[in-house]
Structure 1
């Protein structure tokens, strides 16, 4: 049995409400769970049960019209729900990375992969020569399974398949050296081969970097082969 240290992330009685007819109505209630260093936790359940809302609340990215109305979210024993905008930005830049559900929306279609990766990498890596930077970008892409990273760097996102775009985003997340990666439905709209490739890649990143992963997915059968623990949600609440 795997043994974990103190939790990195602890969610306690989280309630998320949406505004409707001028009133705040709870749509996620009493959600509590923990994520420990170096483990993969799968948060599963049917579409619309509140999984993605929970993920976005954890990183301070709820859309307008939604807000946390009760509960606490602790990252390394700090209640991050008290954070201001600057604190949230720093948290997402340095500690918790969010891989969004639709990968094309996460990349600018009219900018090359290289330009977008440079922008992300520069958040953590000090300035260096173009040659050294390109070598680093290529190594990141190789870590996520690309055998021709130079070609990928020169490409525009619309020239890449969904599975390739998802792996580019994973490489960008890895460059931020987060402690936790939240992957929100990372295999949605991918074919079977790319679905398995992305899930295997998450397992590899967990192993290679000691990365904790919160995997959001409605595909319980696929993720339970990968995850250390599975938490199931339905109708806005944890059921087991």
Structure 2
């Protein structure tokens, strides 16, 4: 099991990482969100984030990861123990919350509990025509060829696939992918959709995404192309 530990207190992070490694976990550390973001967060079984980080906070990073479609369990560490802070952390997308100071055995119990959830809830690959999506790794293939999608392209694809056969409006895309008003990002939708189609539909292959004039976009369920 791989764990990414993000904490700007390098001494504390080193001690915590060593303890987890002694328990058999493969641990990588990062001391800022910028460094953490350079990792492929889909490749980890668990993320441990400190709330207070230089530059961007752990809460902000947690929110960004969820918006990108990262479903890796997140354990938030913080000295903030007010009820409102706990609610904020959990509402942002954290799966668990542990206040400092804590004993290592308590953290270890939280880690084991979160990893048990991962083992019990491994998402099955999604198949649509010759398109295969692995939600666990965010891997996407079409006719066996791997597609390199950006987080936004992946999020758009997931929204279309989960509504296969239905029309997804531009307003729905704006709300679910960008959490913004359609007017503010209308042109962005066209740019990302064009790039997604270019990757999904190489020359000689049937187009998966259909434009429904004046209504939005639709991806056809199996056998409907």
TM-score bracket, normalised by the shorter chain, equals under 0.3
TM-score, length of structure 2 as denominator length: 0.25
TM-score, length of structure 1 as denominator length: 0.24
Q: Which has the higher strand share?
A: 1
* Structure possessing the higher radius of gyration over alpha carbons: 2
Tell which has more relative contact order, 1 or 2 (C-alpha 8 A, sep 6+). 1
Q: Which has the higher helix share?
A: 2
